[in-house]
Amino acid sequence: MGLQELWFILIAVLFIGYFVLEGFDFGVGMLMPVLGRSKNGSADNDTRRRVVLNTIGPVWDGNEVWLLTAGGALFAAFPEWYATLFSGFYLPLLLILVALIVRVCAIEYRGKIDDATWRSRWDWGIILGSWVPAVLWGVAFANIVRGVAIDENRQVVSGFFDLLNPYALLGGATTAIVFALHGAVFIALKTADEVHEDAVKLASRLSIPAVVIAGAFVLWTQLAYGKGWTWILVGIAAAALLGVVALTAVAREGWAFVLTTVAVIGAVVLLFASLYPNVMPSTISDDYSLTIYNASSSPYTLKVMTWAAAFMTPVVLIYQGWTYWVFRKRISTAHIPPSIGLPIKTS
């Protein structure tokens, strides 16, 4: 295995980590309007929403680091891929970035002022800041696998609306429904009392459409772009989602979360395996396609990066694993203290 192959695999691993960890973060934000609604009236809505949000409170910002690392690795290891991707996908990637910024601000600011209107507005920031990237990441990666119009200058000459083709839209629907399911199972795993019960029920309801939509997408990917051995990945992802259907029906959220994780991993590996050895196929001519060989940095650069990754990666993994261990216990509405935000000024 050469350094180009190694770094292609490492970038795939970084995106796997991002989609597994940030995937349930998106799911939690997407489901706030549903699981944050109390049966006892609006007075308890904020408490429930704080329970839902606190499931990711200690870890969401650390999960985002996987995207920063993946972007940095992409820039350093495959600069031509990075340049073509970010110029050709400028608008969807900008929308993702803006949505992530809004979500960060909303999570940080919603509790600063003790006012229902203030919190409601920031809640919408969390919700939209979760839905937009959850959909657009699927659209973006589906287009990367499908290929876009890249000319001889390695420039994407197609427009934004060319990215909204049926395969890409199905990819966006897949990431949205799978992340929502992943988030519902995570909330069920991390909560107690009525929030836990509602999360289990919601996860059970989401599991069946997730099987249908994600199954259609991975099958289309395999038939159109996959390789012979990648049928194994299709089987793994499908079996994992079917297992989630069974496990959520009997409220086994721990194993269900393991299987939603396996499903995400299987789907991402399928996308990268279908792409290899290309990194951005051209629909104009195969001669214009970017591959791991014509888009990579120099061997010396890749060698230096490999040594840096060998030293730093274990440290990051150990630290993040320790964080999840420290905050492993369930939370409930009984654990939520009264709001301590500043009172809103009336004059």
Domains and CATH numbers, the chain: 3-302 (1.20.1630)
Residue 333 one-letter amino acid: T
Bigger pLDDT: 188 vs 342:
188
Contacts 24+ apart (CB under 8 A), 302-307: 302/3, 302/4, 302/6, 302/7, 302/77, 303/3, 305/7, 305/73, 305/76, 305/77, 306/3, 306/6, 306/7
Helices (H), the chain: 3-30, 32-35, 45-54, 60-77, 79-88, 90-109, 116-146, 166-190, 193-225, 231-249, 253-275, 299-326
Question: Are 179 and 23 within 8 A, CB to CB?
Answer: yes
Q: Which residues pair with 282 in a beta bridge?
A: 148
Query: Over the stretch 127-180, which tens digit does the pLDDT of each residue have?
Result: 999 999 999 999 999 999 999 999 998 899 988 889 999 999 999 999 999 999
- Tokens at 69, concatenated: 């690392």
**Dmax over Cα atoms in the chain, in whole Å?**
69
Average pLDDT over residues 214-237: 95
Q: What pLDDT was estimated at residue 198?
A: 93
**pLDDT reading at 104 higher than 90:** yes
Give me the mean pLDDT over the 27-33 stretch: 94
pLDDT of residue 340: 64
Report, as an integer, the average pLDDT of 189-209.
Answer: 93
The pLDDT value given to residue 341: 60
Q: Cα dist. 168→2, 128, 208, 316 in Å?
A: 31, 20, 21, 33
pLDDT on residue 46: 84
Band of residue 116 on the pLDDT scale cut at 50, 70, 90: confident
* 246 burial level (CB within 10 Å; 0-12, 13-18, 19+): middle
Task: Answer whether residue 347 shows pLDDT above 50.
Answer: no
User: From CA 223, how far away is CA 29, in angstroms rounded?
Assistant: 33
The average pLDDT across 35-62 equals: 82
Residue 265 has pLDDT above 60, yes or no: yes
Would the pLDDT of 93 be above 50? yes
Distance, CA of 166 to CA of 146 (rounded, Å)? 11
Residue 114 contacts residue 341 (beta carbons within 8 Å): yes
Residues of the chain with pLDDT > 70, as a percent, come to: 96
Average pLDDT over residues 40-52: 77
Torsion of CA 261, 99, 184, 34, to 10 degrees: -170
- Give me the pLDDT at residue 36, please: 83
pLDDT tens digits for range 286-342: 999 999 999 999 999 999 999 998 988 888 889 889 989 999 899 888 877 776 665
Tell me whether strands 290-291 and 278-280 are parallel, antiparallel or unpaired. antiparallel
* Residue 41 confidence (pLDDT): 58
Is the predicted pLDDT of residue 344 greater than 50, yes or no? yes
How far apart, in whole angstroms, are the C-alpha atoms of residue 167 and residue 143?
8
Q: Tokens 């836990």 sit at which residue?
A: 196
Cis peptide before 314 (omega within 30 of 0): no
CA distance 24 to 260: 10
Whether the predicted pLDDT of 254 surpasses 60: yes
Residue 213, pLDDT score: 97
Structure confidence at residue 80 (pLDDT): 94
The tokens for 286 are 């195969």
Contact 295, 286 (CB under 8 A): no
Mean pLDDT of the chain: 91
pLDDT band at 263 (very low <50, low <70, confident <90, very high): very high
Report the SS3 class of residue 343. strand
pLDDT of 54 reads 92
Q: Which of 81-95, 225-239, 261-275, 330-344 has the lowest mean pLDDT?
A: 330-344
